[in-house]
Structure 1
Amino acid sequence: MSLLYKNSPDMLRMIMIDPKRVELGIYNGIPHLLTPVINDAEKALNSLKWAIAEMMRRYDILTQTRSRNIEEYNKKVHKKDKLPNIVIIIDELADLMMRGNKKEVE
């Protein structure tokens, strides 16, 4: 998890999904998490839907500011307006897909 050491929570936010509940729980409580590690399939699906909406919102921001990516955008704006990178880690995607509503998960 070198991402954690190389980036402050202001510049890196994470969503971790662990359907089996055994691999990612050790990361609960780190300041980079947007939410505690998710173990529930429905909550995981909701977090992924949120991530899609956030991605679309960011595309709009990048278009409005004529920025090609977040790094370029962050160079143009004041510190309070900077956008962190968001990383989503899913342990055992196949397991998540088996537990969730197949049509929605796809």
Structure 2
Amino acid sequence: MLRMIMIDPKRVELGIYNGIPHLLTPVINDAEKALNSLKWAIAEMMRRYDILTQTRSRNIEEYNKKVHKKDKLPNIVIIIDELADLMMRGNKKEVE
């Protein structure tokens, strides 16, 4: 299982991927929305660390073998086109 978040601050490269079934959200063009999605990803990462610790799993693949289909965790990939542009448009400290 794979889910993706795509961030395209310049609005020219990743828009063609809108609508693909693997996206967690439509391609993000807004710096504030991008920041919020990255904050969500950090919180999700921490939640997953807790889950892996509780189930004594070394990684998502091992965890997914132990649980019912409805509880499986997808891998999440975040693609950012032009990170420098995102940092210039948004609050640089928060993006870092």
TM-score tier by shorter-chain length is: over 0.9
The C-alpha deviation readout for 1:13-66, integer Å capped at 9, x for no partner, is 000000000000000001100000000000000000000000000000000000
Q: Please state how far the C-alpha of 1:105 moved relative to its aligned partner.
A: 1.1
Are 1:27 and 2:17 matched, yes or no? yes
Tell me the distance in 1 between the aligned counterparts of 2:85 and 2:29.
11
Tell me the distance in 2 between the aligned counterparts of 1:56 and 1:41.
23
RMSD: 0.5
Q: Please state how far the C-alpha of 1:102 moved relative to its aligned partner.
A: 1.4
Tell me the distance in 2 between the aligned counterparts of 1:54 and 1:92.
23
Give the unaligned 5+ runs of structure 2: none
Give the aligned partner of residue 41 of structure 2: 51
What is the number of equivalent residue pairs in this alignment? Answer: 96
Task: Please identify runs of 4+ aligned residues in structure 1 that moved more than 2 A.
Answer: none
Normalised to the residue count of structure 1, the TM-score between the two structures is 0.89
Tell me the distance in 2 between the aligned counterparts of 1:105 and 1:88.
14
